[in-house]
Structure 1
Amino acid sequence: MHIRQVPSPRTARRVVASVGIVGLALTATACNRSSDSDSGSGGESTVGVTLITKDSSNPFFVAMQNGAKADAAKNDVKLTVASGKQEGDDQGQITAIENAIARQDKGILITPMSTGVNAAIKKARDAGLYVIALDTPPDPADTVDITFATDNRSAGKLDGQWAAATLDGKAAVIALLDLFNDKIVSVDYNRDQGFLEGMGIDVADGKKNGDEAPTGKYTAGKGGDYTIVCNEASNGAEDGGRSAMEKCLAKNPDINLVYTINEPAAVGANAALQAAGKTATIVSVDGGCAGVKSVKDGVIGATAQQYPLKMATLGMEAIAKIARGGEKPQTTEGLDFFDTGVALVTDKPVDGVESIDSTKGADICWGN
């Protein structure tokens, strides 16, 4: 989260054009529920929407904020942007929710920090606000009206399938660099557990990190032996990834496969490996422009790319439509959220795992 790259307007436009192919009929209707004193263009009243991210420095959340800002006028939305001070700041998000209720906004878009904000979300919904989670489905999923997100389980599985095929039957000595060790967050366990499932490793509790058998057989690809050395929290940050990797290497210096919650953590893990004179295959999730460059440079072997700008713009359009009497969005068939898509980015493709290369990934990435 310490990479402070802000996407340019050109980048934002490029992402909208490239990832806007998943359809939602979210154009506004003539019916109007907003205040007559706050009118927008086209004779429709402006709709108040608050976007609440986990922080305002991670390029993933910066892309969300910039995309929503760029699209707000088009939808006659009066957008308020807020965030926690950093990952883990539940109270910052709770305050932003309470402010949205006090403003009588029509809806909230939120990347929920943890279950600690669930009560505040319920309060907003009870007050009549339509609440959409972005990126991180809450636990339970029906805490919000709907979630627009990457299928993080599928993202992790893509990483695991690619890693297993890349190992080509060799033993896997695995470090898992997760998000938290003091909070339960769906994006955290879904990516971690999805990665293990993609490797063909049995998980015990699908909503808990670190309780699978520490040794055994992975069955994906050609299959082979595995050893899980560690589950360490990185807080999704470069310095956290480095310190987490250092702890893992202290337990076992022979680690050859590293899963990371996101790309800043992957960069930190790579720094720790280099300092120790070690090499390992690193897989990650996010697909920001910096992360795609890390794939091109060989730092990350593969990363699952998601589309935060798309989450924010589609979510904002949905709230505007609902506020004007339109239909509510529906979840993707077979899921309890609306899937905004994912693609594996790697320059070392393997049979049986669909992927795009870093050049194509750079065309549709977010951030700088």
Structure 2
Amino acid sequence: MKKFSKFLGVVSVGTLAITLAACGSNGGAEAGNNSASSDAATPVKIGLVTKTDTNPFFVKLREAAKEAAAEEGAEVVALAGKFDGDNEGQVAAIENLVAQGVKGILITPNSSTGILSAIKKARDSGVVVVALDTATEPADAVDATFATDNLKAGVLQGTWVKATLGSKAPSLIMLDGTPGGTVDTFRHDGFLEGMGLAEGAPEISGQENTNGDQTKAQTAMENLLQRVPNANSLYTINEPAAAGAYQAIKAAGKQDQITIGSIDGSCTGVDNVKKGIIGATVMQFPGTMAAEGVKSVVEYAKSGTKPTGFTDTGTVIITDTPVSGVDSKDTAWGLENCWG
């Protein structure tokens, strides 16, 4: 009996050990499932790097990206350069975001080539990189691009200005953006194409870089008008530059002499078209760029499918002075569809 009792005791202890082990095993499985659920519930983290954090265009990009991310259950970490052209600041931002473990980075490159090394390192680490607004050179340095066709936007601006001048020979002033910038180059070249002019043509009476800044544009225009008092047409890289130039033009009493074209499509810019400050502006759609960029990163996080190629997010001429041969929308439409 003593031996039998000892046997039962051993069996009981063994059964208890097995039961406890089984409970522990089930508990571990449940804990693992909970952990997996927790990982699945973790929002996809997306980095956004803009040229600056103050330009209304980039403010809209940031707002639209965050709104789209919220709809997708994702999270946006937004960083920016200190100024337009701050390439080093953007490189540091990319490195910062990779260290934070983002799944993808959306970037408006200051330079089409200056950040390629940082982008390559990010992609090599498994981060998908999407360009917004500004293409890289080469284009396949990023996985995909969602942007305005800036060459086309420049052509639209130039075509409208040329048609508005009619039979008048152009005496053109060009207020460019940042030297070497991809967007700046495409818009500049496109405008000249729309005007039917070659680089260096005698009709180009004056030219200054403004970095797209309103104050710099006003100063540049004041100086140019002293040298080119008979100027009759003006290219501007963006609407802040156009607004600054107009202040100089108004001070010189030449509002009715100079036809102003621009690009952006902000609500302020469209309102300036309505007021007659800008003759026409080419509207672009930063909200679409940002939303499509966010969706592409979320899709990559879900399925592993990377976005590819260039997607033109659209351009529309906004003017209350339409011209033959140029499709346009009026400022009423523009104010319903503007940004900022």
Partner of 1:303: 281
The partner residue of 1:120 within 92, 96, 118 is 118
Partner of 1:284: 262
> Relative to total residues, which structure has the larger helix share, 1 or 2?
2
Secondary structure in 2 matching 1:171: coil
Q: Which runs of 5 or more structure 1 residues have no equivalent in the other structure? A: 1-34, 203-211, 216-226, 332-336
Secondary structure in 2 matching 1:193: helix
Partner of 1:198: 194
CA shift for structure 1 position 140: 2.2
Q: Any idea what the Cα deviations from partners look like across 1:87-117, whole Å, max 9, x if unmatched?
A: 1222221111001111221110000011322
Quote the Cα distance in structure 1 between the aligned partners of 2:246 and 2:54: 21
Aligned counterparts, 1:84-233, within 5 A: 84-114=81-111, 115-181=113-179, 184-202=180-198, 212-215=199-202, 227-233=203-209
Quote the Cα distance in structure 1 between the aligned partners of 2:119 and 2:138: 12
CA shift for structure 1 position 214: 2.6
Quote the Cα distance in structure 2 between the aligned partners of 1:316 and 1:50: 9
CA shift for structure 1 position 277: 2.1
User: In the alignment, is the contact (CA less than 8 A) between 2:143 and 2:308 conserved in 1?
Assistant: no
Partner of 2:296: 318
User: In the alignment, is the contact (CA less than 8 A) between 1:263 and 1:284 conserved in 2?
Assistant: yes
CA shift for structure 1 position 44: 5.2
Letter in 1 for 2:114: G
Q: Any idea what the Cα deviations from partners look like across 1:167-214, whole Å, max 9, x if unmatched?
A: 111111001111123xx1110011011011011123xxxxxxxxx133
Secondary structure in 2 matching 1:116: coil
CA shift for structure 1 position 328: 3.2
The partner residue of 1:259 within 226, 235, 244 is 235
CA shift for structure 1 position 269: 0.5
> Normalising by structure 2, what TM-score?
0.86
Partner of 1:56: 53
Partner of 1:364: 337
CA shift for structure 1 position 251: 2.2
User: In the alignment, is the contact (CA less than 8 A) between 1:156 and 1:194 conserved in 2?
Assistant: yes
Letter in 2 for 1:69: K
Secondary structure in 1 matching 2:45: strand
Aligned counterparts, 1:2-81, within 5 A: 36=36, 39=39, 45-81=42-78
* Structure 1 residue ranges, 4+ long, deviating more than 4 angstroms after superposition: 35-39
Secondary structure in 1 matching 2:114: helix
CA shift for structure 1 position 153: 0.7
CA shift for structure 1 position 326: 5.1
User: In the alignment, is the contact (CA less than 8 A) between 2:66 and 2:75 conserved in 1?
Assistant: no
CA 1:286–1:36: 2 relative to 1, 3 Å:
farther
CA shift for structure 1 position 76: 2.1
Letter in 1 for 2:188: D
Letter in 2 for 1:300: I
Letter in 2 for 1:347: D
User: In the alignment, is the contact (CA less than 8 A) between 2:145 and 2:308 conserved in 1?
Assistant: no
CA shift for structure 1 position 37: 7.6
Quote the Cα distance in structure 2 between the aligned partners of 1:104 and 1:38: 17
User: Which piece of structure 1 moves more, 68-77 or 282-291?
Assistant: 68-77
Secondary structure in 2 matching 1:324: helix
User: In the alignment, is the contact (CA less than 8 A) between 2:109 and 2:115 conserved in 1?
Assistant: yes
Quote the Cα distance in structure 2 between the aligned partners of 1:244 and 1:108: 36
CA 1:248–1:36: 2 relative to 1, 3 Å:
farther
Q: Any idea what the Cα deviations from partners look like across 1:46-74, whole Å, max 9, x if unmatched?
A: 21110111111111111111111112122
Q: How many residues align?
A: 303
Partner of 2:249: 273
Q: Which runs of 5 or more structure 2 residues have no equivalent in the other structure? A: 1-34
Percentage of matched positions with identical amino acids: 49
Letter in 2 for 1:317: K
CA shift for structure 1 position 161: 0.9
Letter in 2 for 1:276: A
Secondary structure in 1 matching 2:329: coil
CA 1:38–1:359: 2 relative to 1, 3 Å:
farther
Q: Any idea what the Cα deviations from partners look like across 1:6-36, whole Å, max 9, x if unmatched?
A: xxxxxxxxxxxxxxxxxxxxxxxxxxxxx95
Letter in 2 for 1:244: A
Quote the Cα distance in structure 2 between the aligned partners of 1:249 and 1:85: 31
Secondary structure in 1 matching 2:248: helix
Letter in 2 for 1:362: L
